[in-house]
Amino acid sequence: AVAVVSGANRGLGLELCRQLQQRGWRVVALCRRSSPELEALRQDCQRSSSSHVTVVEGVDALAGVSAGLLICSAGILSTYSMADLDTAAIRQQVEANALGPLRVAHALGANLAPAGAKVAIVSSKMGSVADTAQDGQNGSVGYRMSKAAANMAGQLLALELRQRGIPLLLIHPGTVTTGM
């Protein structure tokens, strides 16, 4: 079975690649640029020949990939307050956090294997309007906005995929210390 993981070059995505390949998945590691850690994982897999990790840079490289699992874990976090509003940083976060999963799912398109395929989008409760009202914005204006948009994008994509029998899950992993 093939799993596609976006944001695979570090943090949560890299660890998901490790865990999936250890469980026997053939992993397609999607990222803008590879990392030494991801290359080390790929080389370890080549040496052991027990599983397979392929590194692809950019969604265009997904053409022809048939996947049984898609995990969209790529994300960007920039912190600043409303007083220091940075609309360019907000746009960048919306591009990565909300539009990124849609681009990846669109690139795979019909190649998401309908028999048993699953999709997961790593989101955050920081995208919850109710939680923001309780917690305050904590200097994460763009991140919260982009994750709220990611939650809506995930819900809309879930409606589309449900027609093909493919479930989609939005995941809040909790606080994870990564190199975001």
Domain spans, the chain = 2-171
Q: Given pLDDT bands bounded at 50, 70 and 90, which one contains residue 137?
A: low
CB atoms closer than 10 angstroms to residue 144 = 22
pLDDT higher than 70, residue 51: no
Among 34-43, 60-69, 161-170, name the most confident range.
161-170
pLDDT higher than 80, residue 179: no
Beta-bridge partner residues of 57: 31
User: Rounded to an integer, what distance in angstroms lies between the CA atom of residue 37 and that of residue 45?
Assistant: 13
Q: Which of 25-34, 108-117, 152-161 has the lowest mean pLDDT?
A: 108-117
Q: What is the mean predicted confidence (pLDDT) over 105-116? A: 82
User: Percentage of the chain surpassing pLDDT 70?
Assistant: 90
pLDDT higher than 70, residue 7: yes
User: Rounded to an integer, what distance in angstroms lies between the CA atom of residue 141 and that of residue 131?
Assistant: 13
Q: How does the average pLDDT of the chain come out, rounded? A: 85
Instruction: Order across the sheet with 2-6: list the strands.
Output: 52-57, 26-31, 2-6, 69-72, 118-122, 168-171
Q: What share of the chain is helix, strand, coil (3-state, %, to 5)?
A: 50, 20, 30
Q: What is the mean predicted confidence (pLDDT) over 104-121? A: 86
CATH class of 2-171: alpha beta
User: Rounded to an integer, what distance in angstroms lies between the CA atom of residue 86 and that of residue 110?
Assistant: 37
This prediction's pTM = 0.88
Question: CA-CA distances (angstroms) from residue 82 to 88, 138, 153?
Answer: 13, 10, 24
Question: What are the backbone dihedrals phi and psi of residue 26, each rounded to the nearest 5 degrees, phi first?
Answer: -85, 120
- Report the candidate in 117, 119, 68, 127 with the shortest Cα–Cα distance to residue 94: 127
